[in-house]
Structure 1
Amino acid sequence: MKLQSLFALLILGVSCSTVRAQVLKDLRVKPDSVISENKQENVSLKNIRPIVPKLELEVDYWKHWTSFGVNINQAAFNDNWKGGGVGSTAVGLIANHKSDYTRDNFNFVTEVDLRYGKIKNKSQIAKKNNDRIFWDNKLSYKLSPKWALYTSLTFESQFDDGFKYKTENGRDTIDYIENAFMAPAYITESLGFEYKPSPSYSIRFGTGTARQTLILDNRIKPLTIEQYSQKYPDRTPLEKDQVKYGVDGGKTVQNDLAFQITGNMDKNFTDRLNVKARYNLFANYKKLNDPSHRLDVTVTAKVSRAINVNLNGIMVYDSDVISRVQLSESLALGLVYKLPR
């Protein structure tokens, strides 16, 4: 019985193998045969356009910096004070604005520096101790990472009248007027090359520079011999025409062609200490051996967010004004507000 059962299982296994081999053979012969009896459904695709929000982003190529402040100094002594000293009051106003436009290789910078201050000592006339209008505009095209071709336009003058004083009968009095608004004023156009090794330093070589010196106040205007005798008939006549600030007698404008070098530094040595300096050499082509020089240095120490200590120094040599070096220094503690904060 066992032998018969084993023989039946053997026959059944051979039959199943034969049927399976036949099915596989049919699939090889007919590769397009459909194994699944389910009918394939058509799939339809629909294009979907996603909604992309409009950002409206614009690139701002401008940068702006503005600061303005006030400095006040005051000292007072009563009649019993024996320690020496003179009562005084001094007020100074400062305003500065700078705008920078940079796009590709083009750069435009405009900077305005305004300063005005007065001091009043006891029993004396109030006198200005700081007075400047300075406006510089520069357009440049970068030729390499450190060199650029530039053109610039600069205006310089002062706000108020400046006088020479004298003591007469023990009193402080005005002797004569030395300068006033637009007397003198300087307009300088320059073309040349600029070397800028870093954002903190730059130097301009103005190979083609023209400057107009204006004296538009008749109190300061230089006079010819004839004009002086008509205006001051009671005074000793002049031996030659007057010349003031390089402007010849009878004229209000003097044009000069020159070579100019302008160096600028604006560097933060620490987060509380900034040094800003500007040096200008103006060499008139008529007298290259006697150029004029001006150096302005401002050291600003930040005491707090709104209080600064400013040390200002000015050195000027201009033989058209006086053939000596002029020096000015001031130290002040004041309030300063800056934008952006």
Structure 2
Amino acid sequence: MSLGTLFTLVLTVSAQDAGDEDQLVDGWNNQGNFQFLFNQSAFNKDWTGGGTSSIAGNLNANIEFNYTKDRVTWENDIILEYGLTKQDTDPFTRKTNDRIEINSVYGYEVNKDDDTAYYSFFINAMTQATKGYTFKKDSLGNTIRTERTNFFSPGYLQAGPGYLYKKGSFLSINLAPSTARIIMVDDKFTSGTDYVDRSYFGVASGEERRYELGASLNAFYKLTLLENITMDNKLLLYSNYLDQPGNVDINYLAHIKMKVNDWVSAKFIFQAIYDDNAVGAFQIREVSGLGLSYTL
């Protein structure tokens, strides 16, 4: 006798002001998207195909507060993501996602008769909520873990003036040629013996901060692929003038939303990150799910 079970649940709740989402309306235009994904798989001892029982959950929230009035545009969003997974053969629960990000871009029209070009100032902050670990096997084959990251270790804060090109709510490009960036860490990560001979996310041994000055680009484009299928594209680039400006940090996110009906939707997310200070190679993640949705 063999038995295998797989259960996946995705719950999405959306709230937004009435009106066409691609048409800017004077005043505040707020919206929120909340998603919960649960995945469970189980195999009994006689399951010949092999497999490991596991349980996983992911929470995601994206809240936007946008303001448009006369010659002013002000866009703000908060992104929260957290996920955990546990396998029967692993003594530790592991994170699958952990992200806290806050963005704010203020723009003032260059010309009152042109609502696409703005002088701008932006702020971006990123970190994670809980400890992150690296895992390896000891000489006896047991899994051991070592703390690698924590809340604001690392933490990123960058800000600067620039130029914003904006077309409705589906296209925006913000170029800031004078962007200040601070990388913050707990000095316990830079003072230990494991980090004496190298930097920790770019922060030197014994230090708590790294200061950078460079150029940044933040672009967003929303594309309608088919009826009820849209694709959000976000691209963030940063070059540090003070240290190897040719090593550009890249963060690209593609989010495809497929509306089946008023209650059911499907999503696919692809993200690629290159940060020379963190890994020096591309980090890739993919998320997909079919779920229930409710819109206010």
Letter in 2 for 1:261: L
Q: Is the 8 A contact 2:73 2:107 kept in 1?
A: yes
Unaligned runs of 5+ in 1: 1-58
Partner of 1:258: 214
- Using the alignment, how far apart are the partners of 2:43 and 2:166 within structure 1? 52
Partner of 1:222: 190
Report the 3-state secondary structure (helix = DSSP H, G, I; strand = E; otherwise coil) of the residue aligned with 1:244: coil
Q: 1:36-55 residue pairs with structure 2 within 5 A?
A: none
- Which of these residues, 96, 99, 102, is aligned with residue 129 of structure 1? 96
Letter in 1 for 2:241: Y
Q: Which has the higher helix share?
A: 1
Q: Which has the higher strand share?
A: 2
Report the 3-state secondary structure (helix = DSSP H, G, I; strand = E; otherwise coil) of the residue aligned with 2:50: coil
Q: How many residues align?
A: 266
Structure 2 residue 155 is matched with structure 1 residue 185: yes
- What is the CA distance between 1:172 and its match in structure 2? 3.1
- What is the CA distance between 1:85 and its match in structure 2? 1.8
Letter in 2 for 1:79: K
- Of 59-68 and 241-250, more deviation after overlay is shown by 59-68
- Using the alignment, how far apart are the partners of 1:113 and 1:309 within structure 2? 19
Q: Is the 8 A contact 1:67 1:336 kept in 2?
A: no
Report the 3-state secondary structure (helix = DSSP H, G, I; strand = E; otherwise coil) of the residue aligned with 2:43: coil
Report the 3-state secondary structure (helix = DSSP H, G, I; strand = E; otherwise coil) of the residue aligned with 2:281: strand
Evaluate the alpha carbon distance shift between residue 126 and residue 70 of structure 1 in structure 2; reply closer, same or farther with a 3 A threshold.
Answer: same
Evaluate the alpha carbon distance shift between residue 318 and residue 305 of structure 1 in structure 2; reply closer, same or farther with a 3 A threshold.
Answer: same
TM normalised by structure 1 equals 0.73
Partner of 1:39: none
- What is the CA distance between 1:266 and its match in structure 2? 3.2
- What is the CA distance between 1:335 and its match in structure 2? 4.1
Unaligned runs of 5+ in 2: 1-24
- Deviations along 1:36-87, whole A, 9 cap, x unmatched? xxxxxxxxxxxxxxxxxxxxxxx97111101112011111111111122221
Partner of 1:161: 131
- Deviations along 1:167-190, whole A, 9 cap, x unmatched? 34344331x222111110111102
- Using the alignment, how far apart are the partners of 1:61 and 1:139 within structure 2? 14
Evaluate the alpha carbon distance shift between residue 149 and residue 322 of structure 1 in structure 2; reply closer, same or farther with a 3 A threshold.
Answer: same
Report sequence identity in percent. 24
Evaluate the alpha carbon distance shift between residue 199 and residue 68 of structure 1 in structure 2; reply closer, same or farther with a 3 A threshold.
Answer: same
Report the 3-state secondary structure (helix = DSSP H, G, I; strand = E; otherwise coil) of the residue aligned with 1:329: strand
TM normalised by structure 2 equals 0.83
Q: Is the 8 A contact 1:260 1:283 kept in 2?
A: yes
Partner of 1:172: 143
Partner of 2:76: 110
Structure 2 residue 66 is matched with structure 1 residue 100: yes
- Using the alignment, how far apart are the partners of 2:108 and 2:290 within structure 1? 40
- Which of these residues, 31, 42, 54, is aligned with residue 65 of structure 1? 31
- Using the alignment, how far apart are the partners of 1:180 and 1:272 within structure 2? 39
- Using the alignment, how far apart are the partners of 2:142 and 2:259 within structure 1? 40
Partner of 1:142: 109
User: RMSD of the TM alignment (CA)?
Assistant: 2.1
Evaluate the alpha carbon distance shift between residue 71 and residue 306 of structure 1 in structure 2; reply closer, same or farther with a 3 A threshold.
Answer: farther
- Using the alignment, how far apart are the partners of 1:289 and 1:163 within structure 2? 30
Letter in 2 for 1:127: R
